[in-house]
Amino acid sequence: MTQKVQININGFPVTVKPGTTILEAARKANVTIPTLCYHKDLCVAGNCRVCVVEVAGQKRLSAACATPCEDGMDILTNSLKVRNSRKHIIELLLSEHNADCTKCYKNGKCELQSLASEYKIMTQDFIELLPWKNYTIDMISPSIIKDDSKCIRCQRCVRTCAELQGVNALTVAYKGDHMKISTFFEKPMNDVVCTNCGQCVNRCPTGALVEKNYVEEVWDAISDPKKHVVVQTAPAVRVGLGEDLGFEPGSRVTGKMVAALKRLGFDSVLDTDFTADLTIMEEGTELLTRLKKALVDNDKEVKLPMATSCSPGWIKYIEHMYPEYLPNLSTCKSPQQMFGALAKTYYAKARNLDPDKIVSVSIMPCTAKKFEAARSEMHDSGYRDVDYVLTTRELSIMIKQAGIDFMQLDDMEFDRLMGESTGAGAIFGVTGGVMEAALRTAYELVTGRPVPFENLNITPVRGMDGVREATVKIEKPLKEWKFLDGVELRCAIAHGLINAKTVMDAVKAGKANFHFLEVMACPGGCLGGGGQPIPTNSEIREKRAKAIYAEDSGKPIRKSHENPEVQKIYKDFLGEPLGEVSHHLLHTTYTPRERF
């Protein structure tokens, strides 16, 4: 049996496992200890000291997040000494902090602001240092704003970029009162290896790192009678949005989201899931074409494994870190960008609209999508394909600004023409989902039969392990695919860029013989994106994943190639997958970038 540790917290006995920290023990006992540098997803730092507690027999206060429980400990979390210490720490942080809270984007969502309110910091006992600090605000990136005047140097962002993503775009520079969170040679975020994934934004406790906000630009477009504003919504938004509007994590709010968007005044409310299905048609055909070239034509130039290209954070990462593998990327644009290109061509023609008057807006769980929409490659419609990208958080702001009681809304359906989707499109929002959707279609196109998994659920590609591998054997294919008979399609899935590095290093070393890779930049996939409601952690990601799979299983059609609107667009406009029109509008290439 595992030995137990007996402690007392504020006079009450608590039993915990060895290695449990005081912070974890307190939470088990329903005792709140405030934190700033601590985050469930990250290693312990213990550098903000807000979580200090008093341990009997010790002269100094201990950081609860970094101190393991020892048998017989007598802990006070609310003594006079502890309260005074915490209050002074908060006051010291505020002395260097730009506390113009009413003008801050994180107003009402700031952890430092919440602590200042709880501890009633109504006077300033320390010298106001803000005017003497040479603070800068970096607003160059289309995705992220970095405001040093609001940074409390908790280093959550640094640990996030290093531990979860392995990118190290942010680091600690200088010492003492000159210490700051910086980039390589203090360059703007837009000019360094930053992938725009927004995981740092998702974990920043203050307004030091926030997404670039385009709410007012979208309101202006909606208010312009000369503009036709089209909005698309990503799969992960519908399982995250509710968290900012009164629902528990893991709630599916698809119908209410559609209703809210219509009340906001968008002219057409459509679905990114539609172009997720379209992506499968293009990407699946591309994979099968590459396999034919490799296995039948013995083409030494064909690049395998083929890697997915849906995640813009992953795309920028590979541009920086593994540029020699750019030819391995699928040439497919992401569903967001496919939608944008079609909105100003196919949709405009079908609705008899001037593309110049169409404003294309996307609601995404991702800050990197803002960067993706601004890329020079994304103008194949003759216009900027996607004009504005809003995060899930920005949409919740608009809903609140409009005075909409989200919880009381009746469900509504997406508009037609680029608004119908399948369960396969829905699972794009979770790690492994693109792989599963592609396999459902590719296997059936090759064999004429559904994938040999119960209820189409390809369980080997599901889960939250950082790297997962799966093999699907192709047996008794149709005549035209006879060359694939007996082939074991080897797949790998990675989420979080630190895990992408593991896979790519294995591929580079010749230790991984895969045909198909799915990589998502964010932990958990899009449902854990940098634009999702805060907080996010492993438990919340698991709940969102269950909601995504429930969305899939509840759909009447669950295979991309059976989507009637996808069939219609090929018949009326695109012709065929990888055809001339789709090649022009739905495919692209990317550019190597410097590795710093």
Residues identified as active-site: 283, 286, 310, 330, 369, 372, 377, 526
* Gap between the terminal Cα atoms of the chain: 50
Q: In what order do the strands lie in the sheet with 228-233?
A: 268-271, 228-233, 358-364, 388-391
| CB 247 within 8 Å of CB 253 | yes
d(CA 456, CA 440): 7
Distance of CA 229 to CAs 28, 200, 368, Å?
49, 31, 22
| CB 61 within 8 Å of CB 52 | yes
Closest CA to 233 of 216, 258, 250: 258
The residue written with tokens 């690049």 in the block is 303
| CB 469 within 8 Å of CB 489 | no
Closest CA to 447 of 404, 402, 479, 422: 479
User: CA neighbours within 13 Å on the CB side: how many for 201?
Assistant: 31
| CB 408 within 8 Å of CB 382 | no
- Assign residue 285 a region (left: φ > 0; alpha: ψ between -120 and 50; beta: otherwise): alpha
Give, to the nearest 10 degrees, the angle between helix 254-264 and helix 392-401. 60
Phi, psi of 187 (to 5 degrees): -75, 160
d(CA 362, CA 231): 5
| CB 320 within 8 Å of CB 296 | no
| CB 77 within 8 Å of CB 31 | yes
CB crowding 297-313: b at 16 or more within 10 Å, else e: eeeeebebbbbbbbbbb
Q: Which residues pair with 15 in a beta bridge?
A: 6
Token output for 341: 């290109």
d(CA 471, CA 487): 10
Q: Which amino acid appears at position 309 of this protein?
A: S
